[in-house]
């Protein structure tokens, strides 16, 4: 499955399985969706061996926008784990884009 397909499938799971609907997402206007996406994306980096000169800090628990019970970043031990984290990040970015688009259409 392509990355696009995985992200779409994850977003559908978030809405249908978890109940994170558009109405729910609209309540996260303080950047929570983007911050959580960034935390997932950073957690999806390989633990070592970055081959470019960039400093990346981890997204610690102090940055995580929601309660501990919603923090399932876990450990990125395998490539599959890292892909899963990046898929969650992508789905949250899609949710934020949709949230902003709804605001725009409402004229807010």
Count CB atoms within 10 A of the CB of residue 75. 8
Domain count, the chain: 1
**Lowest model confidence (mean pLDDT) among 16-30, 32-46, 69-83:** 69-83
Identify whether 49 is part of a domain.
yes
Q: Is the pLDDT of residue 93 over 60?
A: yes
DSSP state of 68: G
Q: Is the pLDDT of residue 53 over 60?
A: no
For residue 54, the Cα-to-chain-centroid distance in whole angstroms is 21
- Burial label for 8, CB within 10 Å (0-12, 13-18, 19+), is middle
Q: Is the pLDDT of residue 48 over 70?
A: no
Identify whether 108 is part of a domain.
no
Please give the average per-residue pLDDT across 35-49, as a whole number. Answer: 80
Identify whether 85 is part of a domain.
yes
- Per-residue pLDDT reduced to its tens digit, 73-87: 776 678 888 899 999
- Per-residue pLDDT reduced to its tens digit, 58-75: 676 678 888 787 877 776
Query: Looking at residue 64, what is its pLDDT?
Result: 83
- Cα separation, 87 vs 83, in Å, equals 6
Residue-number span of the structural domain to which 98 is assigned: 3-103
Q: Which two tokens stand for residue 10?
A: 């994850």
Q: Which two tokens stand for residue 101?
A: 């688009």
The model's pTM? 0.82
Identify whether 51 is part of a domain.
yes
Count CB atoms within 10 A of the CB of residue 19. 9
DSSP state of 18: T
Q: Is the pLDDT of residue 25 over 60?
A: yes
Are 20 and 95 in contact, with CB atoms under 8 Å apart? yes
Query: Looking at residue 61, what is its pLDDT?
Result: 67
């Amino acid at each position: 499955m392509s990355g696009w397909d995985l992200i779409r499938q994850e977003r559908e799971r978030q809405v249908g399985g978890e109940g994170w609907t558009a109405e729910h997402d609209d309540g996260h206007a303080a950047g929570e969706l983007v911050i959580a996406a960034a935390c997932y994306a950073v957690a999806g980096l390989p633990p070592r061996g970055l081959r470019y000169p960039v400093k990346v800090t981890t997204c610690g628990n102090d940055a995580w926008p929601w309660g501990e019970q919603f923090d399932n970043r876990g450990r990125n031990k395998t490539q599959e784990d890292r892909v899963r984290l990046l898929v969650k990040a992508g789905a949250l970015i899609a949710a934020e884009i949709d949230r902003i688009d709804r605001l725009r259409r409402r004229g807010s």
